[in-house]
Amino acid sequence: MPEDKKELCKGLIADASFMIEQLEILREYISVNGWSEEYKNGENQFGKKTSTEADAYLKLQKSYVATIRQLASLIPDDKEAAKNQSLLDWVDSQ
């Protein structure tokens, strides 16, 4: 793999690692507190909405999947092709 791609991979791997940690923290919060929260805007406007943590989880999950796809696309095509497809299949199943 060319050096410039190796450097790109290091950054993407670091980002993916950070996202995994944050997703675990958010997942734990959501498991305890649920996906929704109550809100009140003024005197007569109130109800339930998706929690801030749930919104963050969903957005971060999408970013994580995009990062993993980008990493998978950087894997050399020769012997790694089967591994690349396996990784993409795994990402699609999540």
Rounded to whole angstroms, the Cα distance separating 17 from 50 reads 26
Going residue by residue through the chain, which has 94 residues, state the pLDDT in tens, using 9 for 90 and above: 677 778 888 899 999 999 999 999 999 999 999 999 999 888 889 999 999 999 999 999 999 999 999 998 887 766 555 666 777 777 777 6
Contact 5, 80 (CB under 8 A): no
Whole-structure pTM value? 0.72
The DSSP line for 14-80 is HHHHHHHHHHHHHHHHHHHH-SEEEEEETTTEEEEEE-HHHHHHHHHHHHHHHHHHHHHHHS-SSTT
Rounded to whole angstroms, the Cα distance separating 6 from 92 reads 24
